[in-house]
Amino acid sequence: MKFFVDTAEVDDIRELMETGLLDGVTTNPSLIAKSGRNFLDVVKEICAIVPGPVSAEVAATDLAGMIAEGEHLAGLAENVVVKLPLTWDGLKACRHMTSKGIKTNVTLCFSANQALLAAKAGATYISPFIGRLDDINLEGMQLIEDIRTIYDNYAYATEILAASIRGVNHVSQAAIAGADVATIPPEVIRKLVSHPLTDKGLAGFVADWKKTGQSIL
C-alpha cells in the first residue's frame, strides 16, 4: 500500500520524505487554510520536495470553473493531481481532465455508488472518507471493502485512496481491505512505528549486550 501524507505543512513533508516511505501528498482547502500559506506557492513547493503525486483541490464548484482551475493547477508541476468533488460537475470535470491526460483525485466519497461513478469518469484516485463516516456511526472501513469488490469485479484501474484516516488502526484496516493508498496525517504516520513491546524488547537487548562486554566493530 502506498503512503501519502495528508498535510500542507512543508516541514512535516520534508521530515517524512527522509524516511523513504512517503509516496505522495494530499492537500485540501481546510489544510491550506490551516497552513496560512498561499495555495499555489505551497503546491509548487511540495511538488519540488516530493516526486510522487501531489493532490491539489479546485475551489470552484461549477464545471467551467473546475476545468479552468484544474488545468491551471495541473500546469504548476508534472506531479500535480487535480482534486475534484464528487458532484455531477466534478465527474464531468474529471472526464475532461482524464481526456487531457491530467491525473485526478475525486474526493468527498461516502458511498459505493459514488465510487462507481468516479471510476466510470476515469478518475485516477477515489477518496473515500473513512473517519467522517465513523463520526456519524457508519462503518467507514466497510466502504473501502465494498469499493474494492466493485473495482475488482470490473477491473477498474481507479486507485482506492483511503482518506480521513484518524488513527493507526485505520491504516492497517485499510491495507487489509485492499486500499491502494492511504493518505495519513503526519502525527499518525509517526505513531505507526511504535509498539511498547518493541521499546521494552530493545531496552532488554541493549542491556544484555552491554553485559557481554563485546563490540561488533
Residue closer to ligand G3P, measured from CB, 104 or 164:
164
Question: CA-CA distance, 160 to 162, in Å (whole number)?
Answer: 6
The three cell numbers of residue 22 are 512517503
Map the footprint of ligand G3P across residues 7-26, applying CB under 6 A.
Answer: 26
> Does 114 help bind ligand G3P (rule: CB under 6 A)?
no
Q: Which stretch binds ligand G3P (CB under 6 A): 69-77, 90-98, 125-133, 141-149?
A: 125-133
Is 92 known to be catalytic? no
Q: Judged by CB under 6 A, does residue 129 bind ligand G3P?
A: yes
CB of 122 or CB of 185, closer to ligand G3P = 185
- 40, 69, 191, 215 from 17: Cα distances, Å: 21, 28, 16, 32
Q: Does 104 bind ligand G3P (CB under 6 A)?
A: no
CB nearer to ligand G3P: pick between 6 and 159: 6
> Can you tell me the distance from the alpha carbon of 3 to that of 10, in angstroms, rounded to the nearest whole number?
16
From the CB of 101, what's the least distance to ligand G3P, in Å? 24
| Residues binding ligand G3P: number (CB under 6 A) | 9
Check residue 125 for interaction with ligand G3P (CB under 6 A). Answer: no
| 37, 132, 148, 191: which one binds ligand G3P (CB under 6 A) | 132
Shortest Cβ 136–ligand G3P spacing (Å): 12
Q: Which positions from 169 to 208 touch ligand G3P by CB under 6 A, shown as an x/- string?
A: --------------x-------------------------
Show which residues are catalytic: 83
